[in-house]
C-alpha cells in the first residue's frame, strides 16, 4: 500500500515523495482515511509509530480543501502535547509536511517568552500546537479564541494525564465547538484515558496498533552497589572513563543534583551539561543539540531528573484522578479494613537502597518497590486484604527487614484518612 491509496491530495503526495516517504506505517494506513472522513478517532499507538503524520496530513488537507466553518482569528486545528519538546517537533513537522501551503502556526509552550507567542496570536493562525498549561494561561487571559476549532488532537494523552493536566484539558475542550472532530492518540486507551475519551469524543472509531517487537536491542543491564556517596562517585567515574563509551545519560534524583553533578564532571575533565525543567528552553535546546551533534569531543554527559521519582509521582497523580486516593490527617491503622492499596514510605539506616528494596519486594502484599530521594528512601505499593491488614503488614512483614528507621503510610484509598505513622 502507498500513500496515494489513502485519499491524500496531490500536493501532499508530492511533498511526501520529496521527503522520501514511500510506504505508510500501520497507524497511518488506519488513521489517515478515517480522519479524512471526519470520524472521531481513539488511536492506541506507541511513540515512533508515525502517528504525527497520521493526524497532521489529514489536518493539512482539510486546511487546503475545506472552507473555514467560522469567522475569527483563532485556529482551525488545535494540537495538545504533553511537553514543549514534543510540541516543537509537531510544529516543525507541520511546516515540513505543509511545505506547499501558506501555513500559519503558533506554538504555545512553557519555558518560552510570552512576547513571541503573543505576536503569533496577534495574527490569524491555522494551527495551534500547545502544552495544556500554557494554552490554559493564554485562554484565561483572553489571548486566544478556540471558537473556530474544527479538529482537536490530543497527542500522547496518557502522558498528559500522568502529568496532571486533566483539568486543563477539560477546560480547553469546553472552549471548543461541540461539532469539532477529535483525534486522541495514546499508548493505552484504558482506565482514566478511556474515561476522558468518552467525555471528549462522539461515536469514535477505535484503532489499536500493536507495538513492534524490538529485536537485537544490544542492551547490557548491570546493577552496581555502592556503600556510600563517595563510593558511588568513584563507580560513576570508572564507568564514564571506559574507552568504549562515547556518550552517556546520567539520571539524578533532583534538579539541583543534576547541576551539581554536571559541574563536578566538568571539573574532572568531562564535557558535561545539565538538563532539567528549571532551565530556560534555549539552554535545554543547546544541551540536546550538542548531544545529537556529538559536538563535545570527549564525553557528553546529560544529567536529568530521576525516572523512579517521576514514576511514583505519576502513579499517585493517576490514582488521585481516578478517585482512588487522597492524602489527609491521622487515623488508626485498624480503621482501614478489607482490600486496600496503600503507598508506604520507608526511611533506612542503610545506604544499600537497592539491596534493601529487593528484601522489601519479597514481603507479603508488596506489589512494587521504588527507590527515591528526599523524605523517604523507598516507596512500597502494598495491597492489603482480609488476611493482611495494615497493622500486620508493619508488625509481621516490615519488622523482618533490618536497618529500617521508620515507615509510614502516606496514601490510601479515597474515603480513608491517609497519614498513618508507625515508627519501628
313 and 300 inside one domain: no
Other Cβ atoms closer than 10 A to 415: 10
Q: Which of 159, 95, 161 is nearest to 129 (CA)?
A: 95
195 and 240 inside one domain: no
In a domain, 58, yes or no: yes
235 and 170 inside one domain: no
Whole-angstrom Cα distance, residue 145 to residue 83?
22
Whole-angstrom Cα distance, residue 344 to residue 410?
6
CATH code where residue 54 lies: 3.40.50.300
Is 301 within 8 Å of 267 (Cβ atoms)?
no
Task: Give the structural domain span for 398.
Answer: 309-422
> Looking at 290, 305, 320, which one is the last position of a domain?
305
Mean pLDDT of 63-74: 85
Is the per-residue pLDDT at 230 higher than 90? no
> Looking at 273, 305, 337, which one is the last position of a domain?
305
Is 64 within 8 Å of 89 (Cβ atoms)?
no
At a CB cut-off of 8 Å and minimum separation 6, what does 96 contact?
15, 19
Whole-angstrom Cα distance, residue 18 to residue 14?
6
Q: How many residues does the chain have?
A: 424
Other Cβ atoms closer than 10 A to 258: 25
147 and 272 inside one domain: no
DSSP assignment, residue 394? I
Whole-angstrom Cα distance, residue 370 to residue 288?
28
In a domain, 222, yes or no: no
Task: Give residue 328's pLDDT.
Answer: 35
In a domain, 100, yes or no: yes
132 and 54 inside one domain: yes
In a domain, 360, yes or no: yes
CATH code where residue 373 lies: 3.30.70.920
Task: Give residue 75's pLDDT.
Answer: 95
Whole-angstrom Cα distance, residue 343 to residue 325?
10
189 and 127 inside one domain: yes
- Domain total in the chain: 3
212 CA to centre of own chain: 20
Q: Which of 134, 130, 124 is nearest to 107 (CA)?
A: 130
Q: Which long-range contacts (CB under 8 A, 24 or more apart) does 9-12 make?
A: 9/61, 9/64, 9/65, 11/64, 11/100, 11/101, 12/57, 12/60, 12/61, 12/97, 12/100
310-366: pLDDT as tens digits? 444 454 455 444 444 433 333 344 444 444 677 888 888 877 777 788 888 889 888
For 274-314, the DSSP string reads E--TTS-HHHHHHHHHHHHHT-SSS-EEEEE--HHHHHHHH
Q: Which of 42, 31, 153, 33 is nearest to 90 (CA)?
A: 153
144 and 12 inside one domain: yes
In a domain, 221, yes or no: no
Whole-angstrom Cα distance, residue 257 to residue 121?
38
60 and 167 inside one domain: yes
DSSP H or E stretch at residue 340: strand 340-348
User: How many CA atoms lie within 13 Å of 252's alpha carbon, on the beta-carbon side?
Assistant: 21
In a domain, 218, yes or no: no
297 and 150 inside one domain: no
Q: Which of 181, 208, 184 is nearest to 59 (CA)?
A: 181
Task: Give residue 164's pLDDT.
Answer: 84
In a domain, 223, yes or no: no
265-322: pLDDT as tens digits? 877 777 788 888 777 777 777 777 777 776 543 344 555 544 434 444 454 455 444 4
Is 366 within 8 Å of 382 (Cβ atoms)?
yes
387 and 290 inside one domain: no
Residues forming a β-bridge with 272? 301
Q: Is 79 helix (H, G, I), strand (E, B) or coil?
A: strand
Task: Give residue 249's pLDDT.
Answer: 86
189 and 266 inside one domain: no
In a domain, 92, yes or no: yes
Is the per-residue pLDDT at 161 higher than 80? yes
Stretch among 31-35, 201-205, 294-298, 419-423 having the lowest mean pLDDT: 419-423
11 and 96 inside one domain: yes
> Looking at 259, 282, 305, which one is the last position of a domain?
305
Amino acid at each position: 500500500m502507498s500513500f496515494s491509496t489513502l485519499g491524500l491530495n496531490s500536493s501532499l503526495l508530492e511533498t511526501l515523495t520529496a521527503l522520501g516517504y514511500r510506504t505508510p506505517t500501520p497507524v497511518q494506513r488506519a488513521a489517515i482515511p478515517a480522519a479524512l472522513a471526519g470520524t472521531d478517532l481513539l488511536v492506541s499507538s506507541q511513540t515512533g509509530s508515525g502517528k504525527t503524520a497520521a493526524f497532521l496530513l489529514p489536518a493539512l488537507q482539510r486546511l487546503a480543501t475545506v472552507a473555514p466553518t467560522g469567522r475569527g482569528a483563532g485556529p482551525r486545528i488545535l494540537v495538545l502535547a504533553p511537553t514543549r519538546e514534543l510540541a516543537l517537533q509537531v510544529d516543525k513537522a507541520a511546516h515540513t509536511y505543509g511545505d506547499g501551503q501558506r501555513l500559519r502556526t503558533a506554538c504555545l509552550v512553557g519555558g518560552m517568552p510570552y512576547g513571541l507567542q503573543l505576536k503569533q496570536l496577534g495574527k490569524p493562525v491555522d494551527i495551534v500546537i500547545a502544552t495544556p498549561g500554557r494554552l490554559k494561561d493564554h485562554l484565561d487571559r483572553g489571548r486566544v479564541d478556540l471558537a473556530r476549532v474544527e479538529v482537536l488532537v490530543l497527542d500522547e494523552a496518557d502522558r498528559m494525564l500522568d502529568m496532571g493536566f486533566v483539568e486543563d484539558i477539560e477546560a480547553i475542550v469546553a472552549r471548543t465547538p461541540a461539532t469539532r472532530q477529535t483525534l486522541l492518540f495514546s499508548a493505552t486507551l484504558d482506565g482514566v484515558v478511556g474515561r476522558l475519551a468518552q467525555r471528549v469524543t462522539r461515536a469514535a472509531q477505535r484503532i489499536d496498533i500493536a507495538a513492534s517487537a524490538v529485536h537485537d536491542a544490544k542492551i547490557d543491564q548491570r546493577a552496581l552497589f555502592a556503600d556510600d556517596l563517595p563510593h558511588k562517585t568513584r563507580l560513576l567515574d570508572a564507568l564514564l572513563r571506559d574507552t568504549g563509551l562515547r556518550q552517556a545519560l546520567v539520571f539524578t534524583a533532583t534538579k539541583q543534583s543534576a547541576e551539581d553533578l554536571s559541574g563536578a564532571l566538568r571539573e574532572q575533565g568531562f564535557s558535561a551539561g545539565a538538563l532539567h525543567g528549571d532551565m530556560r528552553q534555549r539552554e535545554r535546546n543547546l544541551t540536546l543539540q550538542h548531544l545529537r551533534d556529538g559536538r563535545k569531543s570527549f564525553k557528553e554527559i546529560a544529567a536529568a531528573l530521576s525516572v523512579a521519582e517521576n514514576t511514583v509521582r505519576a502513579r499517585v497523580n493517576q490514582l488521585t484522578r481516578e478517585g482512588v486516593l487522597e492524602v489527609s490527617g491521622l487515623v488508626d491503622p485498624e480503621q482501614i479494613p478489607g482490600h486496600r492499596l496503600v503507598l508506604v514510605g520507608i526511611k533506612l539506616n542503610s545506604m544499600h537502597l537497592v539491596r534493601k528494596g529487593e528484601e522489601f519486594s519479597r514481603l507479603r502484599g508488596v506489589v512494587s518497590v521504588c527507590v527515591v530521594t528526599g523524605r523517604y528512601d523507598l516507596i512500597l505499593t502494598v495491597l492489603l486484604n482480609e488476611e493482611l491488614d495494615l497493622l500486620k503488614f508493619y508488625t509481621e512483614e516490615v519488622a523482618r527487614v533490618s536497618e529500617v528507621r521508620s515507615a509510614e503510610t502516606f496514601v490510601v484509598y479515597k474515603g480513608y484518612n491517609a497519614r498513618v505513622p508507625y515508627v519501628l
